[in-house]
Structure 1
Amino acid sequence: MSKRSDLERLQFVVEMIETIEIISKRHKRVKNALSDIEGQNAIFMCLIQIGEKLNKIETPDIRKELPVKEASSVRNFIVHDYTGVNLEIIEEVITSDIKLLEKTIRKILR
């Protein structure tokens, strides 16, 4: 187990969150970004990466602070397209859950 590797993973997650913010601002709103196929695919890729990285966190004290299971579930639904991806749920994840995740990660990284 490498705490350093976990911290690097968390830094990458922050970068993916920042990328989602850039994409959303470029489209003026999250909903607009998700309505555009390029914006949607870019956001989906960021969410997939977030789920992948969080699932690889090994340090128990760090892992317990994070929504690993939830992020992994979002990743799986996007990747496997179980009954289609509900864009309203993805919008809610981005507008609510991602901000909380970013705040939690920044606290861990301090």
Structure 2
Amino acid sequence: MSKESISKVYLILEKIEYIEQIVDNNGGIVKSLEDSVTLRPAILMHLTAIAEQFNKLKKDHADDILSAFDDKDVKGMYDVRTYIAHEYEGVNLSIVEWIIRNGLPKFKKQCTEIINSSK
């Protein structure tokens, strides 16, 4: 695993933790997503950044890292990024909520395992 690839995993983990902080400090997932001025845009930007890091890992052919993730999960995250970027006003918040509740904890665990195994 290259240092550059591991740094992308660290960035994914950092963005997940930012989303967790937003949600934890502002009354939960639903309440945070209801704030269309500050909190929702921040969450959506962090999700976009996570997807971009996965895309960079793919372009870098970091298969050793990507193999730790389910292909469908990574594709789903990139699809969400595309949807956020192109349909910003029409983002389905129930999908975003599902990702925060179910997808991000899984990614966080996988990122932590990758980081720990690289030390």
Fold agreement, TM-score > 0.5: yes
What's 1:48 paired with?
48
Indicate conservation of the 8 Å contact 1:55/1:69, yes or no: no
What's 1:35 paired with?
34
CA apart distance, 1:32 = 0.4
Cα 1:36–1:75 shift into 2, 3 Å: same
**Root-mean-square deviation (Å):** 1.5
Pairing 1:61–2:61 present:
no
Point out where structure 2 has 5 or more consecutive residues left out of the alignment: none
Point out where structure 1 has 5 or more consecutive residues left out of the alignment: none
Indicate conservation of the 8 Å contact 1:51/1:72, yes or no: yes
Q: TM-score, normalised by structure 1?
A: 0.92
What's 1:88 paired with?
94
Q: Distance in 1 between matches of 2:21 and 2:89?
A: 28
Identity %: 31
Deviations 1:31-75 (A, max 9, x none): 100000111000000000000001111311211222321221111
